[in-house]
């Protein structure tokens, strides 16, 4: 049996008022709102190299992805905002591989993120950092770390991965159009055991070493600051 409705004249007047109010509301300026952005996200997820042979890891440095194919500046904040979490996809090294890294790179796997203001000649000044967290319990997983205290980030600042020891967060086998930079001096790009991870706020560092055909497997979640309607001229 079809469902029927009966509308009185008063109902029509009420509905008309509601529709009119809806049209007026539709013409009003959109409410200012924040946006959630995942820096470093691509359509396909990279696979960390470990436990393959060779098992390659990020070691004792602060680094950021420069480009992945046609995507560039993936870790530059497009607007001012707050970083609320970061995510890392970790390889699953064997016990033998873990022992080797732990012994030669200063201990168990660990990592955090650093925000820096880019300067001239591939330099950067650290403006904010997350705590460094141990990664042993998350090997072989993709894990997101929410920040108890969010980090301020300005438009144009970059967000890097800081690894004081080592982290199986490196995917390899890409083309020459995929590369990342590390906080190492130009003449020490091959010295991956030397400590170059930046852990001091306000410190200026160099990102002189470029590594092609590889990708860091982290992303960063930021919330942009809301903005109101554009200001009128002369106001």
Tokens 């952005």 appear where? 37
**Using one digit for the tens of pLDDT, what is the confidence trace for 150-168?**
999 999 999 999 999 999 9
**Using one digit for the tens of pLDDT, what is the confidence trace for 71-119?**
999 999 999 999 999 999 999 999 999 999 999 999 999 999 999 999 9
* Pick from 174, 156, 167, 160: nearest CA to 68: 174
C-alpha distances out from residue 117 to 87, 124, 166, 191, 192, Å: 21, 5, 24, 25, 24
* Pick from 45, 169, 159, 157: nearest CA to 110: 169
Q: Which two tokens stand for residue 224?
A: 């942009």
pLDDT values of the chain reduced to their tens digit, one per residue, 235 residues: 333 333 333 333 333 333 333 333 444 455 568 899 999 999 888 999 999 999 999 999 999 999 999 999 999 999 999 999 999 999 999 999 999 999 999 999 999 999 999 999 999 999 999 999 999 999 999 999 999 999 999 999 999 999 999 999 999 999 999 999 999 998 999 999 999 999 999 999 999 999 999 999 999 999 999 876 666 665 5
| Model-wide pTM > 0.75 | yes
Cβ neighbours around 67 below 10 Å, total: 15
C-alpha distances out from residue 123 to 160, 162, 178, 204, 205, Å: 13, 16, 20, 7, 6
C-alpha distances out from residue 115 to 93, 162, 212, 231, Å: 28, 10, 22, 30
Going by their DSSP bridges, the two strands 133-134 and 71-72 should be labelled as unpaired
């Amino acid at each position: 049996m079809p469902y029927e409705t009966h509308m009185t004249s008063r109902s029509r007047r009420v509905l008309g008022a509601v529709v009119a109010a809806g049209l007026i509301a539709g013409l009003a300026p959109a409410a200012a709102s924040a946006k959630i952005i995942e820096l470093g996200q691509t359509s396909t997820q990279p696979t960390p190299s470990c436990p393959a042979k060779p098992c390659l890891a990020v070691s004792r440095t602060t680094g950021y992805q420069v480009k992945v194919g046609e995507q560039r500046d993936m870790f530059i904040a497009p607007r001012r905002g707050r970083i609320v979490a970061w995510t890392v996809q970790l390889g699953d090294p064997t016990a033998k591989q873990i022992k080797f890294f732990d012994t030669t790179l200063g201990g168990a796997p660990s990592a955090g993120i650093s925000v820096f203001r880019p300067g001239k000649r591939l330099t950067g000044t650290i403006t904010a950092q997350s705590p460094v967290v141990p990664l042993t319990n998350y090997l072989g997983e993709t894990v997101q770390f929410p920040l108890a205290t969010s980090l301020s980030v300005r438009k144009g600042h970059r967000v890097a991965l800081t690894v004081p020891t080592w982290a199986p967060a490196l995917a390899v086998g890409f083309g020459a159009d995929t590369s990342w930079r590390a906080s190492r001096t130009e003449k020490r790009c091959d010295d991956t055991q030397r400590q170059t991870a930046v852990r001091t706020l306000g410190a200026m560092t160099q990102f002189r070493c470029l590594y092609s055909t590889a990708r860091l497997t982290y992303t960063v979640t930021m919330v942009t600051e809301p903005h109101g309607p554009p200001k009128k001229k002369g106001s």
